[in-house]
Structure 1
């Protein structure tokens, strides 16, 4: 086998470094637990013993990971692009990794595989054991994790990188340290679209975990006690007597944390001599009978723990695979081109600069990477403007609002405000009529000039933030900034709605395209919920900005379904009624047989994949279904009461803010409540002015143009 090993160590780990860490851990505050760093476990004999542990039946983690790889390796390697790099952290014996490498070789994917490990002799031994490849190039990296981050950052930005961290090594770090470590990799060494494959053990049965880390054969205990022998080698003196300690393992079920300790059999004093250039110093450490010295811990993760880990690392989830007994998971996550934090109460007077930067990244991703540049002047929907209008509309809206607020001139070219300020909106009943809109030019400006204008407006906004960096942004200005921010967020969604009806759109750059598969079964019938009579206040009164005024209303008790209608249920309705009025979110395959696919930003998917997604349809179609099913659409007030009764989902795994780039399944169980995510919900309430409605002084035409009795309220949220 041909391979190379590169020494990438920037900071040599010396014997003295390790001694210092040991002394610091053992001389902690008297109220703190003494700690010995786990690095002392991994001398040559320790590595051999750990390898033996992984072959025991009790240490289920390795067998679970092998089980997943044997079953799902094809699915995993489908995500790894040819001519890319695969980097494994803490490569070890490569026993499991060879399953992945053999599959990549079988698929003839040209891959450079980098195995990172601290021990050069182990790297040579492990890489030598892999056999011969024609398509996989092997490289050993001798260094620490931090060295690995720096080295991976030097790899080509033009080629995908897949980082692998197997064996639930994440558990050796606290939850906070684990998230911080992955985030450093994400920030320093990953580009949008790069993948991270991580193995994580679950919060399993405590007895199972206990025996996994203290096997009956005593191999784990000997592995730990060998570490004490290694201590004496490191200190080069008889520092500690292993016969004076037991090895014990505990598991905190509430925190999902397994810990390994040395337990002192008696009161004792650990002595060692430290030499320096001037003299020798004897250090004594008192250890009491039954006192514990921690040598290792291993954190276990349930789904919520793993979701928070990925969120804190600012990585997005692609797919997960479990072993046959659902004890262990391999998670594939990736670096997205932008990342939105979960929604919080809007306590700030204005969006932060960081929030603006993320929304700009999202707009640029959607508008510039998903449309071929030569197609910018096309209309995906004939009632809308061409794509290029919206690239000018977003900065024009922001610029005109900032200029109006500050009584300043519009940014140059000023005529862009006349061209791009308002989009076209046709009358709902007579398509020959339009609401007021900006003048449509004979020829749209060039894309390059629009992007130059966009940058100019963004810089104008940033100068405002610079001016207020040491003082509070006035409330009135904050209104302008929030309005403009939410306007841009809204148009990202409407732009995507246009895109999915355009045949030539491209997958978004830097997005990992999921391999969407049919669900395990169709959703059970939805539960009918009774919402009690309640009095609610809604609308928002805030003089000088908002277009609504508060109102309080008592809503009588009513019944409502626990979740939205699915694609599959709407298809059954169409078949039962011989109705061929399919939603525009579908594409007919064969009208005669009523077969359809469902539109997504990755292209159409089979109905079998999207059968449990909320159906995306028009108000007319929603009313037809409701009438057939002997139901009705809820009013705005009723839907708000439903949301008040069953709290809105702001969990980290909820599907909004581009957690997924498509709707996801409604709850499959009939007793589960659907949270606000995935798709907007229709109401039967017409969009109209509340009592005491006052037009916005800043943007008077925004709402009032649509108080025509033809527009209806939608609530909730979408992906």
Structure 2
């Protein structure tokens, strides 16, 4: 009734008597809003205006948003959540939001609107490229080498436009952008064998002194202007279309290269205009939402791999592809069991502590002086809880162990205790060691594709309600991996495996070999940490009872155990023959 009192105050006289009015409320299911009305309990007349008894006068409409609806709202509004503050029951929250410095499309109709990237696609890519390469590291540090086996950071500022210009020149039978000698300096990077750096492909000569940054940026702008002019005149030949596509893809890939190199630098700067998230608050929220990681039986099925692009003279209908992505082929993948989600930092920490392993993933930082004994005894756990709100069960590492480490992010080191539910970033050998300790293995490439396809199948059942009725409540560079097991068809899987892992949820739907292959491109929903929705990894434990599909790994790539090799029908790209060959 406070509204009536305020109205009286504004009008200057007692126009509305509280005893003459009631308040009626209802929830509008159609648009998800709460509506409140003043309702006179008798006919009320004010300056000739008659309000009939029972007439509803709307005075409040409050929209209610669940977590998923909030994410959609924030994304549409171009803002990103920084922190949230809720009541004790978790029903109401105040959200702290910040404007986004960029927005990358996540729907197929947007991010592959055409086979050829358009000028808007390039401008958006160049915007984020410039943000990362010029604003997240000081100019002096561009000469540093965060990864010793690679070139200095400044190389990539020259390499990306040089590579693009090489292919534009070939496709147009034109002349290189000046200075022409950049092709011999920035044409190809260096990526030697980690175990034996003497083994390395052909690469550009490394100069005794890199060109000045200003000169490199002038060259970059000239190449970009050339690309804009090409796009403005229209693209009619496959040769030119593929040159534009390969230039776009190449720069996007090296954006990732530059970012994971920056993460290895202690001099990294946060992205401008992006406030630092409240990682402690996010960890608490993740702890409340975490679910036990289930195991799923991935049925034997046929999996379609690669692109169909048989004509080297015609622009393809759907997409160009790299040589290792062609031709399209179908493989039969036997049944196997897979963990629902990737390995987390928390799980990997427990593995390191239990097995007294002192070597750390490159994504971790040891906060203890190097003279300290990594394998000391006496790890304590005074109250059974870690500092981020996780209950310290037998499966967790001790508090004292967790306190010693942090995770590298673009915002600086984040305490491990606040990143336990993030996917661990580690090398293949490190994750293989973890898998073997669990009597598991890292999946093959074909098995990973089978997981993605089956995950999409389960989502389709969930969308039409079938999975809900079958499954009850549903419980059941650096990269990550999930672990898998080969199935013995003669043995019925137990309720738990030897390590206490829950088996496949009861009544999991059985799928015959798929006749509907997974599409090449998919919509990337809220479960996909892509497109700079976040500048850090995100928890993967919230959906531990659901099979994680493509791009649902918290912001990391997924390792497979399949070495790169020439599959049947492989043919090197005419445009870039050394892409896979070297």
TM-score in same-fold range (> 0.5) = yes
Please give the secondary structure, in 2, of the residue aligned with 1:357.
helix
Q: Is the 8 A contact 1:405 1:698 kept in 2?
A: no
Q: Deviations over 1:434-493 (max 9, x none)?
A: 10112222221110000111111111112223223xxx7666544333322222121111
5 Å-filtered alignment, 1:456-495, equals 456-468=222-234, 477-495=240-258
1:530 lines up with 2:310 in the alignment: no
Q: Is the 8 A contact 1:549 1:690 kept in 2?
A: no
Q: Is the 8 A contact 2:108 2:523 kept in 1?
A: no
- Could you tell me which residue of structure 1 aligns to residue 199 of structure 2? 433
1:576 lines up with 2:357 in the alignment: no
Separation of aligned partners in 2, 1:299 and 1:500: 40
5 Å-filtered alignment, 1:228-627, equals 248-260=24-36, 294=58, 296-345=60-109, 346-468=112-234, 477-517=240-280, 519-520=283-284, 521=287, 525-542=292-309, 543-544=311-312, 545-546=320-321, 547=323, 548-590=326-368, 592-593=373-374, 595-627=404-436
Separation of aligned partners in 1, 2:291 and 2:151: 41
Query: Shift in Å at residue 247 of structure 1?
Result: 6.5
Match of 1:691 among 565, 568, 577: 568
1:371–1:289 Cα change, 3 Å = same
1:324–1:263 Cα change, 3 Å = closer
Q: Is the 8 A contact 2:107 2:524 kept in 1?
A: yes
Separation of aligned partners in 1, 2:239 and 2:59: 57
Q: Is the 8 A contact 2:298 2:450 kept in 1?
A: yes
1:481–1:261 Cα change, 3 Å = farther
Query: Shift in Å at residue 578 of structure 1?
Result: 2.3
Q: Deviations over 1:371-425 (max 9, x none)?
A: 2212222211111000110000111122122222111111111111221121012
Q: Is the 8 A contact 1:311 1:652 kept in 2?
A: no
- Could you tell me which residue of structure 1 aligns to residue 559 of structure 2? 682
Please give the secondary structure, in 2, of the residue aligned with 1:376.
helix
Separation of aligned partners in 1, 2:36 and 2:354: 63
Contiguous gaps of at least 5 residues in structure 1: 1-217, 273-284, 706-719
1:244–1:691 Cα change, 3 Å = same
Please give the secondary structure, in 1, of the residue aligned with 2:259.
helix
Query: Shift in Å at residue 529 of structure 1?
Result: 0.9
Query: Shift in Å at residue 666 of structure 1?
Result: 1.7
Q: Is the 8 A contact 2:442 2:559 kept in 1?
A: yes
Separation of aligned partners in 2, 1:502 and 1:474: 43
Q: Is the 8 A contact 2:540 2:553 kept in 1?
A: no
Query: Shift in Å at residue 317 of structure 1?
Result: 2.0
Q: Deviations over 1:565-603 (max 9, x none)?
A: 112222222222222232111122346235432212222
Q: Deviations over 1:631-655 (max 9, x none)?
A: 0111111111111122378223632
- Could you tell me which residue of structure 1 aligns to residue 382 of structure 2? none
Query: Shift in Å at residue 328 of structure 1?
Result: 2.1
Separation of aligned partners in 2, 1:353 and 1:360: 10
Please give the secondary structure, in 1, of the residue aligned with 2:279.
coil
Separation of aligned partners in 1, 2:224 and 2:173: 18
Please give the secondary structure, in 1, of the residue aligned with 2:72.
helix
Query: Shift in Å at residue 324 of structure 1?
Result: 1.9
Q: Is the 8 A contact 1:349 1:474 kept in 2?
A: no
1:650 lines up with 2:524 in the alignment: yes
Separation of aligned partners in 2, 1:701 and 1:584: 29
Q: Is the 8 A contact 1:225 1:247 kept in 2?
A: no
Q: Is the 8 A contact 2:423 2:553 kept in 1?
A: no
Q: Which moved more, 1:473-482 or 1:314-323?
A: 473-482
- Could you tell me which residue of structure 2 aligns to residue 98 of structure 1? none
1:585–1:243 Cα change, 3 Å = closer
Separation of aligned partners in 2, 1:244 and 1:598: 63
Q: Deviations over 1:492-544 (max 9, x none)?
A: 11111111212222223222122321734496652111111111111112233
Give the TM-score of the pair, scaled to structure 1.
0.59
Greater per-residue strand proportion: 1
Q: Deviations over 1:22-65 (max 9, x none)?
A: xxxxxxxxxxxxxxxxxxxxxxxxxxxxxxxxxxxxxxxxxxxx
Q: Is the 8 A contact 1:376 1:387 kept in 2?
A: yes
Q: Is the 8 A contact 2:342 2:553 kept in 1?
A: no
Separation of aligned partners in 1, 2:350 and 2:298: 28
Give the TM-score of the pair, scaled to structure 2.
0.72
Larger Rg: 1
Separation of aligned partners in 2, 1:511 and 1:553: 44
Query: Shift in Å at residue 294 of structure 1?
Result: 5.0
Separation of aligned partners in 2, 1:687 and 1:645: 24
1:245–1:351 Cα change, 3 Å = farther
- Could you tell me which residue of structure 1 aligns to residue 533 of structure 2? 659
Query: Shift in Å at residue 289 of structure 1?
Result: 10
Q: Which moved more, 1:588-597 or 1:527-536?
A: 588-597
1:350–1:289 Cα change, 3 Å = farther
